[in-house]
């Protein structure tokens, strides 16, 4: 993992990324998909304000990269803004984990194929490691964000009504449904307060993904269109 050069940071950095529960889930699931996960489990407690946990079976984070994984502008995905021409990942700014550390207590447990066991790391508000201990998880990465916005009373106040909280759950579900369609080969499970709210199994193609997400009634009213364009790679 490398630190992006200052000029690239100036061009790419976005100051507002973590403003809601759904923005945390979006960043974490994108990291899981970038890590090649075929299974992603998203678990919320109290609409995500007590706990947001995203567990994947992706490649994991190498021990040498762990000290900088949540330090802003460190990323394993690009080296400079020129690499954006050939981007194949959702992430590239190296900002998300660091930004989540600013507004929540973050714990990361990870294991690569080369590791004998997983390690759990507790991070501080600036993304540095406070402590670590061995744990028992399989290959992949689990990121847990606790007490979201505990230091931002105004942001938390925004979610003080039951309707706002329910809307947020729906936003998370809609987000997961979108990734479910985009990534047929990935299993996605969404749990709130220990109850499964929505899930999608692994399927072979986009048509099957749409079928499992939208159902046969909706699919019956859809028309299949294929378009191939040599130049723009669409």
Contacts with ligand ADP, residue ranges (CB under 6 A):
1, 27, 31-32, 35, 56, 58-61, 65, 69, 75-77, 91-98, 141
Report, in Å, the least distance between residue 214 CB and Mg ion: 28
The answer to whether the beta carbons of residues 89 and 37 sit under 8 Å apart is no
Q: Which is nearer to Mg ion, 60 or 91 (CB)?
A: 91
Q: Which does 32 bind (CB under 5 to 8 A by kind): Mg ion, ligand ADP, none?
A: ligand ADP
Report, in Å, the least distance between residue 12 CB and Mg ion: 12
The answer to whether the beta carbons of residues 99 and 72 sit under 8 Å apart is yes
Nearest to 205 by CA among 191, 221, 224: 224
Under DSSP, the state recorded for 124 is: -
What is the spatial distance between Cα 16 and Cα 66, in angstroms, rounded to a whole number? 24
Q: Which does 192 bind (CB under 5 to 8 A by kind): Mg ion, ligand ADP, none?
A: none
Residue count of the chain? 234
Token digits of residue 88: 């194949």
Q: Which is nearer to ligand ADP, 61 or 107 (CB)?
A: 61
Q: Which is nearer to ligand ADP, 48 or 94 (CB)?
A: 94
Residues forming contacts to Mg ion in the complex (CB under 5 A) are 31, 91, 96
Q: What are the residues whose beta carbons fall under 8 Å from the beta carbon of 19, sequence distance 6 or more?
A: 155
Q: Which does 77 bind (CB under 5 to 8 A by kind): Mg ion, ligand ADP, none?
A: ligand ADP
206: Cα separation from own chain's centroid: 21
Q: Which is nearer to ligand ADP, 92 or 179 (CB)?
A: 92
């Amino acid at each position: 993992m490398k630190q992006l050069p200052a000029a690239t940071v100036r061009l790419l950095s976005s100051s507002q990324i973590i403003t809601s529960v759904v923005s945390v889930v979006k960043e974490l699931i994108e990291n899981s998909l970038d890590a090649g996960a075929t299974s992603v489990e998203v678990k919320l407690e109290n609409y995500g304000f007590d706990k947001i946990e995203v567990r994947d079976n992706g490649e994991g984070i190498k021990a040498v990269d762990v000290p900088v994984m949540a330090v802003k502008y460190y990323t394993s995905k690009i080296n400079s803004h020129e690499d954006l021409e050939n981007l194949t990942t959702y992430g590239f700014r190296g900002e998300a984990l660091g930004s989540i550390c600013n507004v929540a207590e973050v714990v990361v447990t990870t294991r690569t194929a080369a590791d004998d066991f997983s390690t759990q790391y507790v991070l501080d508000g600036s993304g540095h490691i406070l402590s670590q201990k061995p744990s028992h998880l399989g290959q992949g990465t689990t990121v847990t964000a606790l007490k979201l916005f505990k230091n931002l009373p105004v942001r938390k106040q925004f979610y003080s009504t039951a309707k706002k909280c329910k809307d947020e759950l729906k936003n998370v579900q809609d987000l997961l449904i979108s990734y479910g369609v985009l990534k047929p080969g990935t299993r996605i499970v969404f749990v709130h307060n220990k109850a499964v709210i929505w899930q999608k199994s692994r399927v072979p193609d986009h048509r099957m993904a749409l079928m499992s997400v939208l159902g046969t009634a909706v699919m019956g009213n859809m028309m299949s269109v294929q378009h191939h364009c040599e130049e723009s790679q669409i």
